[in-house]
Structure 1
Amino acid sequence: MSAIPQASEAPQHEKKGTFVTYPDSPFELFQPYPPAGDQPQAIEKLVEGVQDGEVYQTLLGVTGSGKTYTMANVIARLGRPAIVFAPNKTLAAQLYSEFREFFPHNAVEYFVSYYDYYQPEAYVPQRDLFIEKDSSINEHIEQMRLSATKSVLERRDTVIVATVSAIYGIGAPEDYTQMRFIMRIGDKIGQRDVISQLIRMQYNRNEQDFARGTFRVRGDTIDIFPAEHSELAIRVELFDDEIEQLQLFDPLTGRIRQKVPRFTVYPSSHYVTPREKVLSAVESIKLELDERLKFFVAEGKLVEAQRLEQRTRFDLEMLSELGHCKGIENYTRHLSGAPPGAPPSTLTDYLPKDALMFLDESHQMIGQLNGMYAGDRARKETLVAYGFRLPSAMDNRPLKFEEFEARMRQVVFVSATPADYEKQHAGQVVEQLVRPTGLIDPEVEIRPATHQVDDVLQEIRIRVDKNERVLITTLTKRMAEQLTDYLSDNGVKVRYLHSDVDTVERVEIIRDLRLGQFDVLVGINLLREGLDIPEVSLVAILDADKEGFLRAERSLIQTIGRAARNLNGKAILYADRMTESMKKAIGETERRRARQVAHNEAHGITPRSIQKQIRDLIDGVYSEKASKEQEKQELQRAMVEDMSEKDISKRIKQLEKQMLEHARNLEFEKAARVRDQLALLKEQAFGASVHDNVAIGSGGKKS
């Protein structure tokens, strides 16, 4: 058990650690500290559960117990590809950057929706209004999505962090792999054949602007910028209709990185389809169109019939000539040759059979996965009824929950507060209640709500004398504002965190709270990320007996947990009666406390608050240059968070243009500086800078 004191020291030398490998596992895990607290037994049980063939398991981990680290250890031990689902992009970016730290030498990929802005096509019959599909695609996320499918098809050491976007249709894996272009030195192939193969894969020839998804030709030398890479291109040198040399090079500076014996170029879109499939799809679309037109004419709906014929014939011509058209996803069923009503191909179909699935914050994820199908269906039914789309467009849809269930591999639900679905399905519930720091859950006390405001004021004064902070959660905006005014009038330094506060301001408010610029933070929903503050020793929940979303069992447990980072953590619930939710929440917190105290006594651990971060920040504000830099970056990151995805995309495009301009003028130092700015922006937008995973030959190592 000597690992435990070591783990509690870990924050002081974060970057120190060791790389660990396991037999028959392609993963190299970076361990900043050995697993501690409840982590070793949780890892052991989950690994055993998977090996014993358990399909469903639940990891019930309290806040601050290092659930991501446990997941990383389980993945490394089992040596199988894994996919981790997160309920939103913010959390996905956070997980992506953490997994990148744990697996720096493996393929950690990111698969989220690539739309900065998306207006699906829709029809409003009451106003006879058709809304054309309008979207703006973030090409960096598109590149990361292509990189994810490439890695999962080529490598075993892949971890994909995904959102619910992964249950929406993308092209079939067999078409995608059939269309890839494998090049080996010595292969017999002519220049024209290389070009026509690239055109079939939806690459564009562009001699001027060498960008992702394009190629250029100079005599017998063809440069290809693969769609799934961001900073890597391949040069193919032909001699006498034979591949003489393959070189990886930097598309910006033209510097050769290395020579390779073989290289695979993947299609520039998930929707590419082999020519023969496109032609047979055109025929089956014509048949469906004739059938549908007869139906409309018989019903006397001539406007709808004309509209459908005009739109579909145009698409058919595009498909015949180019092999793709706008809105090609609506013909997915014909292109894949699937029967009506069959589920679409999604990212889950690209995963090998033995992949592991983790559903992080599963109590939110399950609800999301459940709700996607119905909303999509309602919109499409109107489009089909009024002749904007063929009935087969209904099959371009997200998976129904039952279909997703059928595609689930061995799955681990991860949550501090599992919901009913996980409870019914979990073959084994693994608890991770003991934190590596030895900190225990706060004690919970119930007090009458009648004099809650005066009582809170007294409690605040006790905390302020000890230089500790307080979080107070109310039920309504009005109550929060009145309470803030009252406390302020009574000499308390207080701020109110409401939904209109933007991200930059939020970072500043939280930082000021930690620095002691003020002592009390009042809010309505304190469950948002970023509020785990070690200096908070009291969480006060006003009107805890008013049943509802913010006072439900799960919300209460999560809110109480906000005081769990402090040694003297305490939660006070103000209520005049004991609700069922309160009873359950308090019972669960007490059970966890008892477990944690027993563990600490058995192993002689003295819990201690997390100290380091605050000291750094204080130094930063008053003296230390490095920490000032950190603060500047924190604010810059917040500004990026506050930019809309469209603005981020615009800014990235501007910088890329600037970078290429410098490169053209042979100002490589300036170009490199802009590239560093770009990397920082991408890191702040996506949680980690976009990178290239390259499998050379058949070895799965990143070069």
Structure 2
Amino acid sequence: MEYQLTSEFKPTGDQPKAIAQLVQGVESGEPAQVLLGATGTGKTFTMANVIAQTGKPALVLCHNKTLAAQLYGEFKAFFPNNAVEYYISYYDYYQPEAYIASTDVFIEKDLAINEEIEKLRLHCTSTLLSGRRDVIVVASVSCIYGIGNPEEFSKNVIFLAPGLRYSRNNLLYQFVQILYSRTEVEFTRGTFRVKGDTVDVFPAYADFAYRIFFYGDEIEAIHRIEPQSGKKLSEEKSISLYPANLFVTGKDTLNQAIKEIQFDMMAQHAYFEKEGRDSEAKRIMERTEFDLEMIRELGYCSGIENYSRYFDGREPGGRPFCLLDYFPNDYLMVIDESHVTVPQVRAMWGGDRSRKTALVEYGFRLPSAMDNRPLTFNEFESMFRQAVFVSATPSDYELTRAAGVVVEQIIRPTGLLDPEIDIRPSSNQIDDLLDEVDNRVKMGDRVLVTTLTKRMAEELQKYMERLGIKSSYVHSDVKSLDRVEILRQLRLGVIDVLIGVNLLREGLDLPEVSLVAILDADKEGFLRDQRSLIQTMGRAARNDHGKVIMYADRMTGSMQRAIDETNRRRAVQMAYNEENGITPQTVRKSHDEIRSQTSLSDMRRIEPVAYAGPDSDTLTLAAEPVIAMMTRVDLEKLIKQTEKQMEAAAKDLDFLQAAKYRDELAQLRQMLKTKRE
């Protein structure tokens, strides 16, 4: 099936030219291209057009779940009749197992799996293996982590059709082999039930179930049904039932893996005994034998991914299978915000390996656990033939990889311009800044101020507070979810000035901000290099009165390059507006719209409510005085209730609300420890 792009908008500005250049590059076989798009120029719409016109399966890779949810919603709206899939980490909460040798503390693995996301991940892999070409997968960097062998996964697909001769008992056996569970009570995803000659199966990746009717050893009919009511939805001519888990494996492979695990267990035990480390020798035997017993009885165990090398048939040190293996060879990779996403991919392997090394060294895991890992960066690079790096400030890596193939998109559909830039001496920067803040507040606008240090941000905020200026600061010591509330307060006018260090650079849609002030702009370094300055200045590009003030006593090379690039873009944008009679105008939203505004999180367009931090009017459960008076039994009940609320929010992919409950849960559990029986 071909892509069908649906949108009430048409490419405007320099979008048509960018689309044509990118499509030509893909069709001519360019291995890498860069889409250099300024803030607010419609880069997502451009990439949707490129994907539609090239007709290739596509992977859209981004650096966090929130951005992935937003992109998934946008692509789902652009391609309602095609397969748009969502692949992120399926943990609502994940504490990996770890050992801290200095304190002799072992941390057990603790996790909460989001069943809805697990369904979407399975649906994604099933769609990719179905042979469809009109597939767009929006994924976080979790797609480079190891999953099951795609060949083994596809070998375990069950094909059924009316008229096919099939023993009912044999079919039930095959369901168990692909990790479906038989049930007589609750009919949930990944289960099947039997009533005489009728078999119901609920695919692990779907919202509907199948009812299979047998007549002797022949399939008489297959109906698609509602899982709860059993109501018939349609009659199927044929179905393909995919495994209920990505780590499915055949019986022969399982038996061979058990033998190899036993062999390596004995070898590691002998190594520890030779070294005189009896506790490690005993530990590796006990833990591995327990896992083997579980695998023999159930086909899996907790932490089975640490044995994935045996099930995949890989050599020690071999590359693990990941989502990229499920794509056809000619797929197109789109790396969004590549200047952030690429370094994140590069860092994954090292962080995982440092934790695993301690577990293996002290006998908590076999050396094979080291091969349950994300891809190295070199392995990642070898996994795609064509890529488009999308960024407003591409790094040297992307520019080098693209070998100069850079496509610009700097004209905004709204006509808004890159901000004016004013350079002022730093000797009187605070007094001058206060005058500018006063002017902008009188206009009803907001101000962003960037400092060099956290301490400076905090002290400046205290000073402004003493002067009666509504302000706040935000930096890495402020909790992530509290940052969301602070930004919301800025947009609502609860605060007028927001002071930060490095968190006010990119990804913020703040049309109310008309002034960005950069203190000590001439202090050359990471926070004041060309890319950081361009990103910071871009926060004023959403307002028709946008202005940037750099406080500096000298002109650095980074400043000059950032100013030249901003002025160049501004000149192009102004010429386009004059030629087309466009008047720039800020897109302002009402308070109600700001309160409800958030990312699209899934195909149902659920709009999560932002988490209110401790400065808001709503207190968390753990902060209420009545909690402190609860008995241990009542507190345990409240913990269970909060767990259910967290799971319900997570099932709806409402990450912010789920995180709120998660934080409350941590506080309640801490309080429970202090209670006496």
TM-score, normalised by the number of residues in structure 2 = 0.85
Contact 1:72/1:99 (CA < 8 Å) preserved in 2? Answer: yes
| 1:125 CA drift (Å) | 3.4
| Residues in 1 aligned to 2:334 and 2:326: alpha-carbon distance in whole angstroms | 16
The counterpart of 1:186, out of the listed 139, 147, 163, is 163
Aligned to 1:316: 292
The counterpart of 2:22, out of the listed 12, 35, 46, is 46
Q: Does 1:650 align with 2:644?
A: yes
Contact 1:442/1:560 (CA < 8 Å) preserved in 2? Answer: yes
| Compared CA separation, residues 300 and 468, structure 1 to 2 (3 A) | closer
Aligned to 1:590: 567
Aligned to 1:11: none
Q: Deviations over 1:127-170 (max 9, x none)?
A: 44333322222221111111111111122211111111111100
| 1:508 CA drift (Å) | 6.4
Helix, strand or coil: the match of 1:60? strand
1:260-659 equivalences under 5 Å are: 260-427=236-403, 428-484=405-461, 486-487=463-464, 493-499=469-475, 510=487, 513-514=490-491, 519-527=496-504, 531-601=508-578, 603-611=579-587, 613-614=588-589, 617=590, 620=592, 637-639=609-611, 650-651=644-645, 653=647
| Residues in 2 aligned to 1:653 and 1:488: alpha-carbon distance in whole angstroms | 40
Task: Look up the equivalent residue of 1:557 and give its one-letter code.
Answer: I
User: Unaligned 5+ residue runs, structure 1?
Assistant: 1-24, 622-626, 657-677, 687-703
Aligned to 1:167: 144
Contact 1:526/1:559 (CA < 8 Å) preserved in 2? Answer: no
Aligned to 2:213: 237
| 1:207 CA drift (Å) | 1.2
Task: Look up the equivalent residue of 2:610 and give its one-letter code.
Answer: A
Helix, strand or coil: the match of 1:68? helix
Task: Look up the equivalent residue of 2:575 and give its one-letter code.
Answer: A
Q: Does 1:111 align with 2:87?
A: yes
Q: Deviations over 1:207-238 (max 9, x none)?
A: 11111111111111111111111x21111111
**What's the RMSD between the two structures over aligned residues?**
3.1
The percent identity for this pair of structures is 52
Q: Deviations over 1:680-699 (max 9, x none)?
A: 9589879xxxxxxxxxxxxx
Q: Deviations over 1:641-700 (max 9, x none)?
A: 9999x99973275699xxxxxxxxxxxxxxxxxxxxx769589879xxxxxxxxxxxxxx
Contact 2:481/2:611 (CA < 8 Å) preserved in 1? Answer: yes
Helix, strand or coil: the match of 1:280? helix
Contact 2:470/2:494 (CA < 8 Å) preserved in 1? Answer: no
| Residues in 2 aligned to 1:538 and 1:520: alpha-carbon distance in whole angstroms | 10
Q: Does 1:55 align with 2:31?
A: yes
User: Unaligned 5+ residue runs, structure 2?
Assistant: 599-604, 615-619, 622-639, 660-677
Task: Look up the equivalent residue of 2:14 and give its one-letter code.
Answer: D
Contact 1:438/1:605 (CA < 8 Å) preserved in 2? Answer: no
| Compared CA separation, residues 326 and 465, structure 1 to 2 (3 A) | closer
Task: Look up the equivalent residue of 2:447 and give its one-letter code.
Answer: V
More divergent stretch after superposition (398-407 vs 323-332): 323-332
Q: Does 1:145 align with 2:101?
A: no
| Compared CA separation, residues 414 and 369, structure 1 to 2 (3 A) | same
| Residues in 2 aligned to 1:392 and 1:488: alpha-carbon distance in whole angstroms | 56
Contact 1:28/1:106 (CA < 8 Å) preserved in 2? Answer: yes
| Compared CA separation, residues 292 and 509, structure 1 to 2 (3 A) | closer
Q: Deviations over 1:167-198 (max 9, x none)?
A: 11000000111112111111111221121111
Task: Look up the equivalent residue of 2:283 and give its one-letter code.
Answer: R
| Compared CA separation, residues 635 and 60, structure 1 to 2 (3 A) | closer
Contact 2:94/2:111 (CA < 8 Å) preserved in 1? Answer: yes
Aligned to 1:669: none
The counterpart of 1:34, out of the listed 10, 18, 24, is 10
| Compared CA separation, residues 542 and 634, structure 1 to 2 (3 A) | farther
Q: Does 1:226 align with 2:223?
A: no
| Residues in 2 aligned to 1:125 and 1:281: alpha-carbon distance in whole angstroms | 30
| 1:249 CA drift (Å) | 1.5
Task: Look up the equivalent residue of 1:533 and give its one-letter code.
Answer: L
More divergent stretch after superposition (123-132 vs 139-148): 123-132
| Residues in 1 aligned to 2:570 and 2:178: alpha-carbon distance in whole angstroms | 58
| 1:539 CA drift (Å) | 1.3
Helix, strand or coil: the match of 1:411? strand
Q: Deviations over 1:27-68 (max 9, x none)?
A: 111123101112111111111001010011111111000111
Helix, strand or coil: the match of 1:96? helix
Task: Look up the equivalent residue of 1:176 and give its one-letter code.
Answer: F
Contact 1:359/1:365 (CA < 8 Å) preserved in 2? Answer: yes
Task: Look up the equivalent residue of 2:609 and give its one-letter code.
Answer: R
Task: Look up the equivalent residue of 1:192 and give its one-letter code.
Answer: N
| Compared CA separation, residues 550 and 197, structure 1 to 2 (3 A) | same
Aligned to 2:633: none
Contact 1:566/1:609 (CA < 8 Å) preserved in 2? Answer: yes
- Counting matched residue pairs gives 627
TM-score, normalised by the number of residues in structure 1 = 0.82
Contact 1:563/1:571 (CA < 8 Å) preserved in 2? Answer: yes
Helix, strand or coil: the match of 2:431? helix
More divergent stretch after superposition (212-221 vs 251-260): 251-260
| Compared CA separation, residues 252 and 393, structure 1 to 2 (3 A) | same
| Residues in 1 aligned to 2:595 and 2:293: alpha-carbon distance in whole angstroms | 60
Contact 2:417/2:584 (CA < 8 Å) preserved in 1? Answer: no
Contact 1:248/1:258 (CA < 8 Å) preserved in 2? Answer: yes
